[in-house]
A and B are shown apart, each in its own frame.
Chain A
Amino acid sequence: MSRGRALALMVMIASLITPLITPLPTHADPLPSGTGFLSEDLQARQADEAANPGMLWVDEGARLWQSPQGATGASCASCHGDATTSMRGIATRYPAVDATSGALLNLEDRINLCRTRHQKAEPYPYESDPLLGLTAYVARQSLGLPMDVETGGAAAPFYAAGEAFFHRRQGQLNLSCAQCHDDNAGRSLRGDTISHGLGNGYPAYRLEWQSLGSLQRRLRSCSFGVRAVQFDYGSPDYLALELYLAKRAQGVAIETPAIRR
Chain B
Amino acid sequence: MPTRRQIIVGAGLAGGMALLPRLGQATPQMRDEAAAALTKGAAIQDGRVTLTIPSVAENGLSVYTTVSVDSPMTAGDHVKAVHLLSEQNPIAHLLTWHLGPRAGVAKVSTNIRLGASQQVTALVEMSDGSFWRDSKTVIVTIAACIDGG
Residues of A near any B CB (own CB < 8 A): 1, 6, 9, 12, 38-39, 41-42, 45, 189-192, 194, 206-210, 213, 217-218, 220-225, 227, 230, 261
Inter-subunit contact B145/A221 (CB<8 Å) = yes
User: Would you call A208 and B144 a contact (CB within 8 A)?
Assistant: no
Q: A207-B59, A227-B12 are in contact. Are A1 and B5 (CB under 8 A)?
A: yes
Contact of A207 among B4, B54, B62, B148 (CB under 8 A): B62
Partner of B58, one of A39, A210, A217: A39
- Give every chain B residue within 8 A of A208 (Cβ-Cβ): 16, 59, 61, 143, 145-147
- List B42-66 residues whose CB lies under 8 Å from chain A: 54, 56, 58-59, 61-62, 64
> Does B90 lie at the interface of the complex (its beta carbon under 8 Å from any beta carbon of A)?
no
Given contacts A190-B143, A207-B58, contact A221 B148 (CB under 8 A): yes
A1-B142 in contact (CB<8A): no
Cβ–Cβ < 8 Å partners of B4 in chain A:
1
Task: For B15, list chain A residues within 8 Å (CB).
Answer: 224
Residues of A within 8 A of B64 (CB): 41, 45
**Which single residue of chain B is at the shortest CB-CB distance from A127?**
B149
By a beta-carbon cutoff of 8 Å, the part of chain B in contact with chain A is 4-5, 8-9, 12-16, 54, 56, 58-59, 61-62, 64, 141-149
| B143 contact set on A, CB distance < 8 A | 190-192, 207-208, 261
For the complex, give the distance between the alpha carbons of A261 and B56 in Å: 13
A9-B13, A206-B147, A225-B148 known; 12 new pairs, CB 8 Å cut-off, are: A1-B4, A41-B64, A189-B145, A190-B144, A207-B58, A207-B62, A223-B149, A224-B148, A227-B12, A230-B149, A261-B58, A261-B59
CB distance from A91 to the nearest CB of B (A): 22
Contact A191 B58 (CB under 8 A): yes
B145 touches A192 (CB 8 A): yes
